[in-house]
Amino acid sequence: MTNLHETPKKEEIINKQDTSIYVSEEIEALGRTTGDKGIQPFSNKSFPKPIRFIGYSLIAFLIAIFLFFMIANVFL
């Protein structure tokens, strides 16, 4: 005997969901006209070494300042 009212598993429902983003035809046409390649993955290796060094230094400086003020706030 088969169950006529068997419910689907949650995994099957999740797998069937459409995860693509709707883009209208007009916007797609504009993207093709301008040569848009869509969202590209970001890579910091694409920057020249001096620019990467400046970026890493700036981030390290901001973290150091943040930690300094957090520590100073505790002791003062």
pLDDT at 11: 56
pLDDT at 61: 98
Q: Is 61 helix (H, G, I), strand (E, B) or coil?
A: helix
Q: List, for residues 27-38, the tens digit of each pLDDT value.
A: 878 877 877 776
Contact 55, 44 (CB under 8 A): yes
CA distance 32 to 2: 51
pLDDT at 62 over 90: yes
Return the exposure string of 37-70: e unless at least 16 CB atoms fall within 10 Å of the residue's CB, then b.
eeeeeeeeeeeeeeeeeeeeeeeeeeeeeeeeee
CA distance 5 to 8: 9
39 vs 58, more confident:
58
- pLDDT band, residue 19 (cuts 50/70/90): low
* pTM greater than 0.75: no
- For the chain, domain boundaries: 10-75
